[in-house]
Amino acid sequence: MKSLPLLAWLLLPASLFALAGSGTISGAVSDSSGAVMPSATVVASNEATGFKRQSVVTSGGDFSLVGLQPGEYTVNVEMQGFKRYSVAPRT
């Protein structure tokens, strides 16, 4: 197994606070050399409710998780052969 961690460059913070009904987390995924990671899986989990939303990284390296309920989310990025990369809400 490669020991290079996945790098997730999130365009929005992992912690979402919204006044309206839903939010979005989007960004790009690359390895430590900067190569995009198409087909990596990105999962956002709401810390309070357990609600999860999943996306697969596109061939361009982008992902988008839409329709997220307001709250704090942990975002995990996984791809076979790489260590899982996780971003948790700041406390």
Q: 7-87 has which CATH code?
A: 2.60.40
Characterize 47-58 residue by residue with b for buried, 16 or more Cβ atoms within 10 angstroms of its Cβ, and e for exposed: eeeeeebebebe
90-57-26 Cα angle (round to 5): 40
Could you read off the pLDDT of 7-50 as tens digits, one per residue?
444 434 444 444 457 889 999 999 989 999 999 999 999 999 99
Domain segments of the chain: what residues? 7-87
Q: For residue range 48-75, what is the model confidence (pLDDT) as tens digits?
A: 999 999 999 999 999 999 989 889 999 9
Which pLDDT does position 18 carry in this prediction?
43
Q: How many other CB atoms are there within 10 angstroms of residue 74's CB atom?
A: 16
Model confidence, pTM: 0.75
